[in-house]
Amino acid sequence: MGDDFIRTRLTHSLEVAQVGRELGKRLGCDPDVVDTACLAHDLGHPPFGHNGERALAEAAAGIGGFEGNAQTLRLLTRLEAKVYGDGRSVGLNLTRACLDATIKYPWRRGEGPPGSPPAKFGVYGPEEEVFAWVREGARPGVRSLEAQVMDLADDVAYSVHDVEDGIVGGSVPPGALGAAPELTAVAELARQRYGGLPLADLMAAGERLVALDYWPRRWDGSRQALAALKNMTSELIGRFVLAAQNATRESFGPGRLSRYAADLVVPEATLAEIAVLKALAAVFVMEPRLSDPIYVGQRTILKELYGYLLESAPDSLEPEFRHDYAEAPDAQAKARIVVDQIASLTDSSAVLEYNRFAGRSSPTLS
């Protein structure tokens, strides 16, 4: 499939949990709550990651859309059938604090606060009751401290590790931020996509990053170069986490901070550096992929698979989803079950399912 990334969703989640647990512990959060949120944060991602998320959001637009974070809440509170009670699955039966920590976007579709990503939301209609229970007493649109720690840990892990993977894979030149045209392109994308920070601040952030002693100056695949790259990863993670820890303590003082007793404070300079790293990977790795036949083929697979399964349900569904489909009260709820089955697939099983229902080879994936 030509899609074997250096890091997987599992290794990424483990790395997020390492970063989040340590930061949360230093601030006084319950480390197990933060750990749970970090490990769970990507559970709702469908096949093909964000590319598949985009495809399912378009396919399911008429039934409330698709969003990986909302799907995570659905998995934790219903689809992962560990506890059954009151005539239905109640998922993993996690505590309110744990569920609250997993909710990155604590609002319904289209109800985000000003400046929030319009396509992001944290709950579908069927989970509104449990969402209301989880959010009882919380201010609308405000995340718990543990959720904020999880979110920063996610940003830190994937911004640093995507650049590391990009350098190893040959897509990201180590000197990219040191050249004016490339730095400008990266800073402009960061301005547009990641928080709307001033272009001058983002340019300055890029210049600070390449001036660091541990920023890699070359990449030749040698063990020496690999060790230097791993050192950069560790140093940057420490830099970002320490900055957030110190700024939060300066604002809220010593002692145990958790839930709604404090907010995570991340200095703007740190936010700018993280945004530049994310944009660096986007410019050299993510953006070129969007029009690549492989990624177009992935989106085609999920959209067409949704149509095939919806038309042939319930016979085409796996047993647990077939039972859910039979109990669904209306057409929208039944279509949501079809989305659930697709979202539960791996990349390879999505291709196999598509080939089985389409009766032909899948679109170009290599």
Q: What are the pLDDT digits (tens) for 303-341? A: 999 999 999 999 999 999 999 999 999 999 999 999 999
DSSP secondary structure, 230-286, as one string: HHHHHHHHHHHHHHHHHHHHHHH-SS---TTS------HHHHHHHHHHHHHHIIIII
Q: Is residue 132 part of a domain?
A: no
**How many domains does the structure of the chain reveal?**
2
Q: Write down the pLDDT at residue 30.
A: 93
Q: Within a 13 Å sphere around the CA of 4, how many CA atoms are in the beta-carbon half?
A: 2
* pLDDT tens sequence across 55-99: 999 999 999 999 999 999 999 999 998 888 777 888 999 999 999
Q: Write down the pLDDT at residue 116.
A: 82
229 has a pLDDT exceeding 60: yes
- Mean pLDDT estimate for the chain: 92
133 has a pLDDT exceeding 90: yes
Predicted TM-score (pTM) of the model is: 0.91
Extract the tokens encoding 328. Answer: 């669904």
Q: Do 284 and 165 reside in the same domain of the chain?
A: yes
Boundaries of domain holding 237 = 160-243+270-288
Q: Do 331 and 348 reside in the same domain of the chain?
A: yes
Q: Is residue 53 part of a domain?
A: no
Continuous segment of H or E residues that includes residue 85: strand 84-85
Mean pLDDT confidence for 218-241: 94
Q: How far apart are CA 275 and CA 206, in angstroms?
A: 9
Q: Do 302 and 347 reside in the same domain of the chain?
A: yes
Q: Do 168 and 200 reside in the same domain of the chain?
A: yes
Mean pLDDT confidence for 135-150: 95
Q: How many helices (H) and strands (E) does the chain have?
A: 16, 2
292 has a pLDDT exceeding 80: no
Q: When comparing pLDDT for 238 and 10, which is higher?
A: 238
Q: Is residue 164 part of a domain?
A: yes
Q: Is residue 18 part of a domain?
A: no
In terms of Cβ atoms closer than 10 Å to its own Cβ (0-12, 13-18, 19+), residue 96 is middle
Q: How far apart are CA 341 and CA 321, in angstroms?
A: 7
Q: Do 182 and 284 reside in the same domain of the chain?
A: yes
Mean pLDDT confidence for 94-110: 96
Q: Do 223 and 331 reside in the same domain of the chain?
A: no
Q: How far apart are CA 122 and CA 107, in angstroms?
A: 6
Quick one: CA torsion of 79, 81, 83, 87, rounded to 10 degrees? 70
Q: Write down the pLDDT at residue 291.
A: 67
- Exposed e or buried b per residue across 209-242, where buried means at least 16 C-beta atoms within 10 angstroms of its C-beta: bbeeeebbeebeeeeebbebbeebbeebbebbbe
Q: Is residue 225 part of a domain?
A: yes
3 has a pLDDT exceeding 60: no
3-state secondary structure of 310: helix
226 has a pLDDT exceeding 70: yes
What amino acid occupies position 10?
L
CA angle 308/312/313 to nearest 5° reads 110
Q: Do 237 and 165 reside in the same domain of the chain?
A: yes
Distances in Å between the Cα of 104 and the Cα atoms of 130, 292, 329 are 16, 30, 29
Q: Write down the pLDDT at residue 5.
A: 43
Give percent of the chain with pLDDT exceeding 90.
78
Q: Do 277 and 337 reside in the same domain of the chain?
A: no
Q: Do 275 and 311 reside in the same domain of the chain?
A: no
Q: Do 229 and 297 reside in the same domain of the chain?
A: no
Mean pLDDT confidence for 145-168: 95
Q: Is residue 258 part of a domain?
A: no
Give percent of the chain with pLDDT exceeding 70.
95
Supply the Cα-derived Rg of the chain in whole angstroms. Answer: 21
Name the residue with tokens 């289209």.
110
Q: Do 229 and 331 reside in the same domain of the chain?
A: no
